[in-house]
Amino acid sequence: MSMSAFLVANPKGGSGKSTLATHLAAYLAYRGRRVMLGDLDRQQSARAWLALRPATLPSIGTWEIGPDHIARPPKGTTHVVLDSPAGLHGKALEKVLKLATRVIVPVQPALFDMLATRHFLESLRELKAIRKGRATVAVIGMRVDARTRAAAELERFLASFDLPVLTYLRDTQNYVQAAAQGLTLFDWPPARVERDREQWQPILDWVEDAGE
């Protein structure tokens, strides 16, 4: 089986990158994959989350990696999830894309987030890995309240790009409460987070389509 590598990226801080990266890694671990969670961010949020994670849960590995040191993961790894730092761009982004086959861009329904994301998506399109189809890009709306005007504005904004918008994840304390315990929604009984699991299904389908 060839290795699948997912990069979660957006230059805007607080966009939900670590939430997506940790959940994706946990899902893959439950699927029995040998998954590594790489933390490129100097704040090391994903690594701190891993330190909290109960040892009784499916294993998620990590290895020494950073924005200036993009190493290959250990032999035998089937899936890699990379949590990237705010401000990732230029040569550093190109380096990471040599490892990643799929890029997930989270964006919140806020003006500054959308402006930063517009610039990022436009710069992504110019990179060789994207232009030549070696890596594909998809977008996810984060912390979205469907009843608000901001949600409608985010939908219009994302519609202006020729990119798949996988889903919109709602703004809920479930994510905060899970993260504080080194957990994800996939570690809780499905009935407790049924609505959120439904919102995640298009992401999981996309992962499966990547050769999962």
Which positions ≥6 away from 211 have C-beta within 8 Å? 1, 2, 4
User: Does 58 have pLDDT greater than 80?
Assistant: yes
CATH code of the domain made up of 4-209: 3.40.50.300
Which positions ≥6 away from 119 have C-beta within 8 Å? 11
Domain boundaries along the sequence of the chain: 4-209
Tell me the pLDDT tens digit for each residue of 137-172: 999 999 999 889 999 999 999 999 889 999 999 999
165: helix, strand or coil = strand
Using a 10 angstrom Cβ sphere, with 0-12 exposed, 13-18 middle and 19 or more buried, the burial of residue 166 is buried
Predicted pLDDT of residue 78 = 94
Closest CA to 200 of 152, 159, 140: 140
Tell me the pLDDT tens digit for each residue of 14-52: 899 999 999 999 999 999 999 999 988 777 889 899 999
Tell me the pLDDT tens digit for each residue of 177-211: 999 999 999 999 999 999 999 999 999 999 988 66
Predicted pLDDT of residue 211 = 60
Q: Name the residue with higher pLDDT: 73 or 58.
A: 58
